Amino acid sequence: MKYDILLGLAIGVFAFLVTMGYNVFPIGLLFVTSYLVWKYVISRQMVKNGSGVAVPTTGIDFEDIGGQSVAKKELQEALDFLLYSDKMKALGIRPLKGILLSGPTGTGKTLLAKAAARYTNSAFLSVSGSEFVEMYAGVGAERVRGLFRRAREMVRKEKKSSAIIFIDEMDILGAKRGSNVSHHEYDQTLNQLLIEMDGLKADQGPNILVMGATNRPEALDAALLRPGRFDRQVKVDLPDKDGRLAILKIHTKNKPLAPEVRLESIAHETFGFSGAHLESLTNEAAILAMREEASEINEHHLHEAVEKVMLGEKLDRKPTTEELRRIAIHESGHALLAETVRPNSVSQVSIRSRGNALGYVRHYPKDDLYLYTKDMLEEQIMVALAGAVAEEQILGTRSTGAAGDYEQALNLVEKMLLAGMSSLGVTDISRLNADQRQTETRDILTGLEERTTKILKANIETLLRITKILEEEETLGGEVLRSYLQTVA
């Protein structure tokens, strides 16, 4: 951009000199020629820089990827079209041209693409979608052409029969046409990719399969997803409990675990973790063991690593005595109500600062649930409100520490409205005005807050006892907390 500004200034200077009577034709001709040559060289360099990165295909196998059994099975079935092309041709089956991997970040889409290259013994070329977008006209389209040329060259050079082109961040290269109205370079680049994919034919040179990865499939252009281009869409989702256990076993193969370590309990605690989160968890546990100069990774290392991945590192900041008591009351309120409405659900309670949290209560997921009833959502809202209600019951006031809890409660109320679980019934909430939504939200929260207050008032002595213990111990495990609750009862 700055070079175009300088060009504009230079043209202005030349125009001024012409009006003053100077003969600037020779200098102007030299300047324009130099600028065009410079722009051509820079553009060619940009095309070269976007030609992709050749990656060795001997490192990752499907057995090295855990927690994605469904995705692996579906992907391997699609890759058999490339692996047994002669058999498919005999049956008149058209070879697949593209496979789209979609799902949240950190779930292993890039690893699956690398494993696919090894599975099919293909040359592997990796590139990011952002490398194709430039302000210079035609550069992105030329990069696409160069990418496919290089894939064919790699097949000949490596003496293989096929190549896989992996395009990460596919939603940048393949965004819906017209979504970037200020710059048509995006559309030209996408058009060139469509042309190249249409030109992929098994009887014309080596087999080339295009694999794309995105966490925003809804942003892709419809022409890219039609049959004949990206023929298969493979969902790479967050792993379930069994998948998390498989991933943990893979990432602890090279780590010395103590005999008492139960990876099943860690898998149970880590609902919502991706493969990348679980890899980080095992790595952080090993680091914690090294800090303690331990020869093995113990279960408490893994539990603390779960907290670190979820919430961040412990902080040195020290709240005042008054703040510490308020935090203890707040977290005790969360924990007590959680154990009342969902027994055996608390994993740990702490008033140690970690990340952005002054204190926290970590819960055991009841199971890997994907559907929630009205009662379940109401229980979650009551647990979220319990911290502020406990503060008010004991100290008489609330604090800003409940801001995150209120945000969580409001999100849960929104889910209830969308699912028709409010007094409004099934309705299009986008048609409700602000007053209607606010009134319904307030009614739901007021009713649940009254229920929460009633439970905490009935157990006020227990709440005070847990608060005192938490102030002394700072952290309580779930089993220890429940033993205190039974003693009080």
Catalytic residue set: 331
CA distance 326 to 64: 47
The three-class DSSP label of residue 351 is coil
Contact between residue 376 and residue 436 where contact means Cβ atoms under 8 Å apart: no
Amino acid identity of residue 113, one-letter, is A
Query: DSSP H helical segments within 206-297, as ranges?
Result: 222-225, 241-251, 263-269, 275-291
Residues 274 and 248 sit within 8 Å (Cβ to Cβ): no
Q: Which of 157, 159, 82, 152 is nearest to 120 (CA)?
A: 82
Instruction: For the sheet with 123-128, list strands across it.
Output: 53-54, 123-128, 162-168, 207-214, 98-102, 230-235
E strands, 51-118, are 53-54, 98-102
The Cα-based distances of 359 to 23, 33, 323, 404 in angstroms read 77, 66, 11, 12
Amino acid identity at 284: E
Tokens matching residue 8: 């504009």
d(CA 140, CA 154): 21
Q: What are phi and psi of 362, to 5 degrees?
A: -100, 135
CA separation for the pair 306, 316 (Å, rounded):
19
Cβ atoms of 284 and 266 within 8 Å: the answer is no
Residue 233 CA, distance from chain mean position: 18
437 to 156, 378, 381, 402, 416: CA distances (angstroms): 64, 18, 17, 22, 12
